[in-house]
Amino acid sequence: MSSPTTTELRVSGMTCNNCARKVTEAAQKIPGVHSVSVSVAAERASIRWISAEAKNLAAVLAAISQAGFAAKAMPAVADGSKQSRWQWNLILGLAVTALLMIGEWIFHLAMAPWFQWLAFALAGVVQVFCGAQFYRGAWRQIKVGQSNMDALVALGSSTAFGYSVWALLSGHGGHVYFMEAAAIISLISFGHWLEARVSDQASGALKSLLNLAPPTARRIQSASPVQPESFDLRSFRPVTVAETKEVEVPVSELKISDRIALRPGDRVPVDGLVLEGESAVDEAMLTGESIPADKKSGSKLFAGTVNLNGRLVLRVTATGESTALAHIIAAVQRAQTSRANIQRLGDRISNVFVPIVVAIALAAGIFWFVHSGAEKAFVIAAGILIVACPCAMGLATPAAIMASANAAARRGFLIRDGIALEKAGKITSVIFDKTGTLTEGRPKVVANKTFPIQMSAELKSYKIEELASSLSSLSSHPLSKSVAEISTMRLPLTGFNELSGRGVVAMLEAGHLLQLGSLRWLLEEKVELEATTTFADEWMTKGASVLGFAVDNRLVAVFALQDTLKPTTAKALEHLGYDYLTDGYRIYLLSGDSSRTVHAIAAKLDIPHSRVFAEVRPEQKAEFVKRLQARGERVAFVGDGINDAPALTQADLGIAVSRASDIAREAADVILLKSEIEAVPEALGLARATLRTIKQNLFWAFFYNALGVPLAAMGFISPVFCAAAMGVSDLIVIGNALRLLRWKP
């Protein structure tokens, strides 16, 4: 049976990927639905819920019904009956079509009465069994006030079959079109089957992700299990083999703080921390990094990665939908099933296209009836109805988005949705934060200087390093974390406050004020800084950040912190280019650091002086983005911290690097799973290629219909050719989209 958070549905009425998209969109609108996976051939939909409590099956069934399809719950046990029936119908239709074609085209039996009656019987079987899916689909869409390609197929095939039955039974004589009626249904069904097979390639990365996490794990059981509330990695004592027993259990039974044994070659089942052992772990599928990561006690492990060469003991920190792998899968699924604004054009045309085509077919039928009789009129009308199918138009955008989302996941970055892809393809300027984005984000204190001041007796009992370290340890900013490492002593402080982009303050016992932050901020706080001039000038010129530490508004120390550029930063900026007019991007550097420090970094990267802005507070970053947008620029902002969230939100495209805080990730449109920013030009390049592919698909879909309808109306192409051409048009659109899977920068 289905798991508490998964429901399997049988969905009838679907004939192509457009139908699958409608079912997916209808189900995903319901609150509580985590993701939806639909198979046209199997007539199934798998609904994953956010939680068992959020399950609202009745609402999902109602939404699918309103979209024009019938759905009901079914066991999760594999049932291939529907898929087998669908395949047998396809084989039946193709066999009948081939037999009738041989009879008419090779043995020239088209006018033989006995062969016409045989054709009537065989084509009738195709209409009833193979054509039923199109008739049911058309009827369901009509009941909800919509129309789709099923209506055109049903009308076209019925027109050819109906005229032939009338001609045969009335004794009118002449040519009958039973072969054409069977061919229309059979060839279109075959085209949809090929379409489904080809589309499976576009979801290859997602399927790989879904299969990464193993179904079972070796849980370690002992006489003294670790308790979540008392666990401390520093006090962990490895138990001996004699005290433990490994039991293989389903991953769904694992709980937080369980211990898991990982042998060489094992896939990591859940997220966790290494308790004991050392090994190399392959994280390529999640991060795109080809070099294995070394893991030891205290290192983080992620579900789906592979332990290569050592035994590890893992403490579970996240399971199920909370793992990093689950979040990545959700992001890829969200991108694949999302809609870009450009898709609205195709949707609007598709919605009105069927009535217009029916009107054209009627007009052409009347014209040819008057000039050439009923036979020609029916054939022309059938051809128009078939060749005008808007299926390719509906596939143009979602096929490209699906392929692009998978290509992005394979390269180590996630794109939130189709709208983000569309925005990324139109970017003209890229703004980079400095710390943690262009640099490693792990600055070190490389020099410090203290200044003697008159202190009270109680303050003299503390070391300056202990005071500064205790204050900075309360902050999550990279510079504060570095200062925190100069001492292990932690003093009790109260009233801690972090002033974004400026510094941190707190109160020591007896009411002494401690301040640590930028020299500019300390100057604003009336702290005398004259003594720091020589020290600050020397280190800022070298690209270091300088922080001042004050007690009771009197400067007592300064710290120089040096960060290093990421190895691929210069190459990434070179790929982006500095001149938008040469198909590159305008590069800007924004930082809250001092002007001399930021310009020293910019000089190493050849970023023009006019595009470097220092001592910028977080709220000012968002304002800077607004100013560029007011000039007509389409702006991408690349950042990694809470301070960058306003700018990430304001930008046309927000890009968060791998160590980004949760807030930055929520605000971002693109998330880089690896820390190197070389993925930034890749992401923007892939987005441009995707937008170009969507436009190509829409053009060819429009061109195909614009050319096919007049040719069919003038009688230049037969209904059989129209049916084959319609299937080919779908394959062209999907094949063009699949080229994105092989896209290279």
User: What residues contact residue 261 under an 8 Å CB cut-off, 6+ apart?
Assistant: 218, 219, 220, 246, 311, 312, 313, 314
| Residue 555, strand partner residues | 550
| Residue 313, strand partner residues | 261, 276
> How far is 563 from 478, CA to CA, in rounded Å?
10
> How far is 136 from 146, CA to CA, in rounded Å?
13
Q: Do the beta carbons of residue 23 and residue 69 sit within 8 Å?
A: yes
Measured at the CA of 437, the angle between CA 431 and CA 442, to 5 degrees, comes to: 150
Exposed, middle or buried, 664 (CB in 10 Å: 0-12/13-18/19+)?
Answer: buried
Q: How far is CA 684 from CA 88, 400, 414, 691, 693, in A?
A: 45, 15, 12, 11, 14
Our measurement of the distance from residue 471's CA atom to the centroid of its chain's CA atoms, rounded to an integer in Å, reads 40
User: What residues contact residue 410 under an 8 Å CB cut-off, 6+ apart?
Assistant: 205, 288
Residue type, 417: D
Structure tokens at 226: 């670790």
Q: What is the edge-to-edge ordering of all strands in the sheet holding 670-672?
A: 413-415, 670-672, 653-656, 635-639, 429-433, 586-590, 612-613
Structure tokens at 305: 């990665």
Q: Which helix (H) or strand (E) holds 227?
A: none
Q: How far is CA 268 from CA 16, 312, 528, 585, in A?
A: 37, 10, 55, 40
> How far is 555 from 564, CA to CA, in rounded Å?
27
Q: Do the beta carbons of residue 51 and residue 27 sit within 8 Å?
A: no
Specify whether 266 is catalytic.
no
Residue type, 217: A
> How far is 483 from 471, CA to CA, in rounded Å?
9
Q: Is 274 helix (H, G, I), strand (E, B) or coil?
A: strand
Q: How far is CA 194 from CA 261, 402, 574, in A?
A: 44, 17, 42
Active-site residue, from 150, 271, 417, 433: 433
| Residue 115, strand partner residues | none
Closest to 255 (Cα-Cα) out of 236, 269, 274 = 269
Q: Do the beta carbons of residue 600 and residue 543 sit within 8 Å?
A: yes
> How far is 30 from 27, CA to CA, in rounded Å?
6
Closest to 504 (Cα-Cα) out of 479, 486, 527, 529 = 479
Residue type, 459: L
Q: Do the beta carbons of residue 108 and residue 58 sit within 8 Å?
A: no
At residue 503, φ and ψ (nearest 5 deg) are: 175, -170
Closest to 664 (Cα-Cα) out of 613, 621, 631 = 621
Which residues are part of the catalytic machinery? 433
